[in-house]
Amino acid sequence: MLKKILIANRGEIAVRIVRACAEMNIRSVAIYTEPDRYSLHVKRADEAYYLGEDPLAGYLDPRRIVNLAVETGCDAIHPGYGFLSENSEFARICAERGVTFIGPKSDVIAKMGDKTAARASMIAAGVPVTPGTEGNLADLDEALSVADEIGYPIMLKATSGGGGRGIRRCDNAAELKAQYPRVISEATKAFGSAEVFMEKCIVDPKHIEVQVLADSQGNAIHLYERDCSIQRRNQKLIEIAPSPSLTPEQRNYVGELAVRAAKAVGYENAGTVEFLVTGNEIYFMEMNTRVQVEHTISEQITGVDIVREQIRVASGLPLSYRQEDISYRGFALQFRINAEDPKNNFLPSFGRITRYYAPGGPGVRTDTAIYTGYTIPPYFDSMCLKLIVWALNWEDALDRGARALSDMRVQGVKTTARYYQEILQDPDFRSGEFNTSFVPNHPELQNYSEKRDPSEIALAIAAAIAAHAGV
């Protein structure tokens, strides 16, 4: 078993990994840059090391991180998600230096990170993919020719893309001509590669992803699916497990496809296979070769500690479970509480948390790195916490989510919490029949009224009295 793990990340996922290490009697090592000096992951880890004033450079330097792991006696690195988590060079350097990378092998990361290579692997494995190019597009003329062949609308995608970037929908040739150079530019800036490919755009699908776990002994299982259709501009907002609309036959089929995909590429550790679902048609979209932000809801419905399994597998141990051991119970929802103002086109709202109160009660979990007095820096993702709720049936899960959102207090910045309460009351959402068009098709949900908590009013009055008394 691993003895000491360096966590090459920050925020709530770093705290999540620290907790898993503590339960497994493994020493945890945090890294941080200047904006994270007072972050919770730094306070909670057994050791913490400073990487300089630049907010991002330290988190994105694979050799420096691996060298630090060696110097501090770490036998493994957990990359979390984002940053270097899907960087094949990072995994390769770890292997060169004899440090265990808690994730798949470098060549698998490279293959699945290249969207055209991933498509080819899935086709060979008999996993259905959307119609599109089998390789990268050579130029705009080829793009126009392929689009005419498969029919509009189409999606232009960066081959090395991810996180919703490097993607454009084109409904006709004029849009394709305009968007082609933009995708190339965005792909080059964001991913260092100008390669793009094309897929048929599946209009208004459900976005379904399957959590998989695989070990070095050839065992692979799935933990059922998550519905990630509630998203804005390809960024997920609310995730649900399992999907409230899949039939048992679809659920079993998509789970089997995900395991087949993992085995086809020799996958090890935790990963997620993403699909687009429309009617009875299911298409492979991509594979995320890391733990996902929304792994929490798969844990809630199955009882499997995914991060613990990641560490066990990286230690060379077999999975703790066989597929027949896995069942799911109830429904879980995860709300990404972002420091954004939905009423102002989701403008980021970074700043100091003047008050934070985490909701509790049965079936409620929060994963976060914020606290009262913490300042959310403007250099990173705007997500400040994840609120997870579980209940035995769909209606109760919705009601529990509404109650937990109402209980929660994050003051000092604007958040998406109030917006999510509106979504929970919408009949289309409550029916479970929503798809990826839900958010753009319901702009009225952003027109909620601002309700001030009585405690906020009391604090404002007290501050005014104190200010007046001091004059």
Alpha carbons within 13 angstroms on the beta-carbon side of residue 346 total 18
Confidence of residue 450 (pLDDT cuts 50, 70, 90): confident
pLDDT at position 466 over 60: no
Instruction: Give the per-residue pLDDT at 391.
Output: 98
Instruction: Give the per-residue pLDDT at 193.
Output: 84
Distance CA 140, CA 154 (A): 14
The first and second tokens of residue 419, run together, are 């917006």
Sign of CA dihedral 259, 265, 271, 274: negative
Average pLDDT over residues 252-276: 98
Among 410, 399, 405, smallest CA distance to 455 is for: 410
- Mean pLDDT estimate for the chain: 94
Which domains can be identified in the chain, with CATH numbers? 4-102 (3.40.50.20), 131-200 (3.30.1490.20), 206-454 (3.30.470.20)
Which member of 290, 312, 336, 400 is catalytic?
290
Among 217, 328, 206, smallest CA distance to 267 is for: 217
Give percent of the chain with pLDDT exceeding 90.
89
Instruction: Give the per-residue pLDDT at 471.
Output: 47
pLDDT at position 467 over 60: no
190 vs 50, 182, 234, 312, 438, CA distance in Å? 26, 12, 16, 33, 28
Sign of CA dihedral 364, 370, 373, 378: negative
Confidence of residue 456 (pLDDT cuts 50, 70, 90): low
The first and second tokens of residue 339, run together, are 């420091």
- For the chain, report the end-to-end CA distance as a whole number of angstroms: 64
Distance CA 431, CA 451 (A): 27
pLDDT tens, residue by residue, 46-69: 999 999 999 999 999 999 999 999
Based on the residue annotation, tell me whether 290 is a catalytic residue of this protein.
Answer: yes
Strand intervals (E) in 174-234: 196-200, 206-214, 220-232
pLDDT tens, residue by residue, 369-418: 999 999 999 999 999 999 999 999 999 999 999 999 999 999 999 999 99
pLDDT tens, residue by residue, 301-340: 999 999 999 999 999 999 999 999 999 999 999 999 999 9
Instruction: Give the per-residue pLDDT at 135.
Output: 85
Residue 324 φ then ψ, to 5°: -70, -15
Distance CA 196, CA 133 (A): 10
- Opening angle at CA 133, ends 131 and 139, nearest 5: 140
pLDDT tens, residue by residue, 147-182: 999 999 999 998 876 666 788 999 999 999 999 999
- Name the packing angle between helices 417-425 and 394-407 (round to 10°): 150
pLDDT at position 470 over 70: no
- Name the packing angle between helices 88-97 and 62-71 (round to 10°): 30
Average pLDDT over residues 60-82: 98
Instruction: Give the per-residue pLDDT at 17.
Output: 98
Work out whether strand 76-78 and strand 4-7 pair parallel, antiparallel, or are unpaired. parallel
Pairwise pLDDT comparison (102 vs 467), residue with the higher score: 102
Among 53, 59, 113, 64, smallest CA distance to 84 is for: 59
317 vs 170, 199, 268, CA distance in Å? 47, 39, 11
pLDDT tens, residue by residue, 180-222: 999 999 888 878 888 999 999 999 999 999 999 999 999 999 9
One-letter amino acid of 243: S
H or E segment and range at residue 463: helix 454-470
pTM of the model: 0.91
**Which stretch of 97-101, 157-161, 355-359, 392-396 has the lowest confidence by average pLDDT?**
157-161
